[in-house]
């Protein structure tokens, strides 16, 4: 087992993690993808999950989301060990994932997309008025002003507006944690600004936010903490203010930066 430095989780006595993974391992056949991974998400904080391609970010997110099971390790939610057998169990806990493809239907409007598969009914018919009102309230609570009407077709929205709708859909169900997979990928400057402001507002509302991103500028702008993965191992889990841009890049590409990171990088590469 590779000797890595102890993850530097916050020591505040009044802030406990909503979600915590301890010693998680995951393999696919003979390929060991996650090695004793510790990961935590705190209320009111944005945790950036960074790493090179193949570092294990996607696998870790899918373990959190219940898509993949764990070979070993603990899954704790609000301090209690939790059995997760699939995405429905995770959604019931209050964990929502916004994937890079957004999973929106272009032929439906905003309201229909936000309630897709979870429609509100009045008797045997859909309660369109109630769903429309909840959609408006959710967008307003997130200070979203770029959408003119909740009855707009998603096909007519810009990339930034689509991302906004996908995030609003995730928080509509009283979520406690939202995981965002590359939310600013392929967006222009103005649209990126809108999405990053929304990410920060989610944390300010008390949600735990996980930001998966390759964009270090985005990470340093909105993240409170950074967890860097290197070849399936946690190279560091640190407060954003305690590291530099160059240190994070070194952790991502080499697993170590000065005194920070995996002690035996050569062994970790085997």
In a domain, 261, yes or no: yes
Asked whether residue 241 is domain-assigned, the answer is: yes
Q: What is residue 264's predicted lDDT score, i.e. its pLDDT?
A: 76
| 131: CB partners within 8 A, 6+ apart | 111, 114, 115, 119, 120
Q: To which H or E segment does residue 193 belong?
A: helix 189-204
pLDDT exceeds 60 at position 10: no
Q: Confirm whether 54 is domain-assigned.
A: yes
pLDDT confidence of 9, banded at 50, 70, 90? very low
Tell me the C-alpha distance between 158 and 191, whole Å.
8
- For residue 138 the two structure tokens come to 């959710």
13 and 52 in a single domain? The answer is yes
Q: What is the pLDDT of residue 145?
A: 83
- Residues 213/184, Cβ–Cβ less than 8 Å: yes
- Tell me if 161 is assigned to some domain: yes
- Do residues 38 and 70 lie in contact, with contact meaning Cβ atoms separated by under 8 Å? no
C-alpha–C-alpha distance, residues 248 and 56, integer Å: 16
Claim to verify: residue 11 and residue 68 sit in the same structural domain: yes
Last residue of a domain, one of 140, 175, 210: 175
Give the pLDDT mean for 60-76.
97
Q: Is residue 43 part of a domain?
A: yes
pLDDT score at 2: 45
pLDDT band at 143, cuts 50/70/90? Answer: confident
Q: Domain range spanning residue 80? A: 1-94+176-270
Q: Check whether residue 148 and residue 268 sit in a common domain.
A: no
CA atoms within 13 A on the CB side of 27: 8
Task: Output the pTM of the full model.
Answer: 0.87
Would you tell me the crossing angle of helices 159-171 and 128-141 to the nearest 10 degrees?
Answer: 110
79 plus 7 within the same structural domain: yes
Instruction: List pLDDT tens digits, range 87-105.
Output: 999 999 999 999 888 889 9
Domain count within the chain: 2
pLDDT digits 0-9 by tens, 256-266: 999 999 887 66
Predicted local confidence at residue 270, as pLDDT: 61
The verdict on 156 and 231 lying in the same domain is: no
pLDDT score at 243: 97
């Amino acid at each position: 087992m590779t000797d890595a430095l102890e993850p530097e989780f916050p020591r505040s006595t009044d802030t406990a993690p909503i979600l915590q993974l301890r010693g998680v391992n995951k393999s696919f056949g003979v390929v060991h993808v996650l090695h004793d991974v510790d990961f935590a998400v705190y209320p009111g904080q944005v945790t950036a999950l960074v790493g090179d391609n193949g570092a294990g970010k996607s696998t870790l997110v899918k373990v959190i989301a219940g898509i993949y099971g764990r070979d070993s390790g603990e899954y704790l939610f609000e301090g209690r060990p939790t059995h997760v057998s699939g995405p429905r169990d995770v959604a019931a806990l209050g964990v929502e994932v916004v994937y890079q493809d957004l999973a929106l239907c272009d032929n439906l409007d905003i309201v229909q997309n936000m309630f897709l598969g979870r429609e509100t009914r009045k008797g045997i018919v859909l309660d369109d008025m109630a769903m429309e009102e909840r959609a408006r309230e959710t967008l307003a609570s997130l200070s979203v002003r770029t959408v003119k009407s909740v009855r707009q077709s998603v096909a007519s929205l810009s990339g930034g507006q689509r991302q906004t709708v996908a995030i609003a859909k995730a928080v509509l169900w009283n979520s406690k944690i939202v995981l965002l997979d590359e939310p600013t990928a392929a967006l222009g400057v103005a649209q990126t600004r809108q999405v990053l402001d929304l990410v920060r507002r989610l944390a300010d509302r008390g949600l735990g936010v996980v930001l998966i991103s390759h964009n270090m500028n985005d990470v340093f702008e909105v993240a409170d903490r950074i967890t860097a993965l290197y070849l399936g191992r946690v190279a560091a889990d640190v407060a954003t203010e305690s590291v530099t841009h160059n240190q994070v890049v070194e952790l991502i590409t080499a697993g170590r930066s000065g005194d920070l990171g995996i002690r035996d990088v050569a062994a970790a590469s085997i």
